[in-house]
Structure 1
Amino acid sequence: MPDRALNAADVHNSLTNSDLGHRVKLNLDLHHLWTNLSLHRVYVLNSDAFQFLDDGNIVFVQGQPPDKLYATDSTEEDGVQPMEWVLPVRTESTWSLRKWVAVFESLEAYQQSPVKRILMGLYTEDSTVVYYFVHNSLIKPRRN
């Protein structure tokens, strides 16, 4: 039987949570010009919500965006943007409220303070990363 070459889907599906974290971190650094980037391995308090994890941990990227991410975001007193949390995931992964509760609870326990929102960094087969806000509660819609 001939050896089969790896295609993009094979490589994409073989990425670990740490690999995804490094790739999203690189995207934030080089493409979006974030600063103070770091990877964090956070132990999941409710691992039943997740089918598989690299070692009971989920990987987050934390960093500072160069500008406001949303029009109503506030800046710190010196005009610097606050640190943001990014959760790198594959686009084909499925998410439920139970998973999001586990993510927010685990991150809040890790940093020992409430987390209002997380950016979900969806990593695609072609290495594109798309970001979405996920809030810990309902937020009032803004007026246009």
Structure 2
Amino acid sequence: MTSLANSKPAIVPSPLQSFVSDPAPLTSTTHLPNEQSLARQILHNLQYQHYWTDLQVHTHSPVTNEPLPRPLVSGLSAQRLYVHPDEQVELLKKADSRKKAGESNTLDVKAQPEREWILPTRLNEKWTLRRLAAVFDAISMVPPAFEASAPEQETPANPWRTTKRVVLGTVDSDSTVVYYIVHDGIVKPRQN
């Protein structure tokens, strides 16, 4: 018989560790396990720290149906991440006309959120223009809607969104996550 006093307590993984290392939701065998867990870590951060919705991990290109260079995440942010400068001017003009018409007493400018691509990376990775170009070549302008979500509303696509973009989600060794918007090509700078 063994005594309970000499046995070591079982190490139970945290819910986040279980979520990140769970292989069931990702059925892709084309990506390394560390790339899959990184995508799930970014998805978890977006959902629980930044209140994104309609999140999913993509392992294959919506354009070519070939495997992506690495798993990407897509989702709907709580608020618009990027407003094109020309769109910003139009929104301000509309808000000003509403204010002058007495419909509002403030210049309330709010653009509707858009689905975004998120590229999960680690801080110690080396990204080249060639690697970024491979990601941009494999994605569509806007990520496809989540299959299980409600049908898309009949809203026209944003005419101001003329270039592909990804949100670079960079994770440091201490689990800090920083997000940057990366556009495919040259983009008109914003006016402050």
Fold shared per TM-score above 0.5: yes
Q: Retained in 2: the 8 A contact 1:90–1:124?
A: yes
Quote how far apart the aligned CAs of 1:15 are.
6.4
Quote how far apart the aligned CAs of 1:69 are.
1.1
Aligned mate of 2:82, from 64, 70, 73: 70
TM score, norm. by length of structure 1: 0.69
SS at match of 2:119: strand
CA change 1:56–1:27 in 2 (3 A) is closer
Match of 1:58 in 2: 70
Paired residue type of 2:45: N
Quote how far apart the aligned CAs of 1:24 are.
0.3
Q: Retained in 2: the 8 A contact 1:121–1:131?
A: yes
Q: Retained in 1: the 8 A contact 2:80–2:112?
A: no
Q: Retained in 1: the 8 A contact 2:163–2:185?
A: no
Structure 1 residue runs of 4 or more that deviate by more than 6 Å after TM superposition: none
Distance in 1, Cα, partners of 2:83 & 2:68:
36
Aligned mate of 1:24, from 39, 42, 59: 42
Matches within 5 A, 1:52-131: 57-72=69-84, 80-108=112-140, 116-131=164-179
Match of 2:12 in 1: none
CA change 1:129–1:41 in 2 (3 A) is same
Note the residue ranges of structure 1 that are not aligned, 5 or more in a row.
1-13, 46-54
Match of 1:38 in 2: 56
- Structure number with the higher strand fraction is 1
Quote how far apart the aligned CAs of 1:56 are.
6.8
**RMSD value, Cα:** 2.7
Q: Retained in 2: the 8 A contact 1:104–1:115?
A: no
Distance in 2, Cα, partners of 1:71 & 1:107:
20
Q: Retained in 2: the 8 A contact 1:42–1:107?
A: no
CA change 1:120–1:27 in 2 (3 A) is same
Quote how far apart the aligned CAs of 1:57 are.
4.4
Distance in 2, Cα, partners of 1:16 & 1:83:
25
The one-character-per-residue Cα deviations of 1:14-40 (angstroms, maximum 9, x if unpaired) are 961100000000000000000000111
CA change 1:134–1:56 in 2 (3 A) is closer
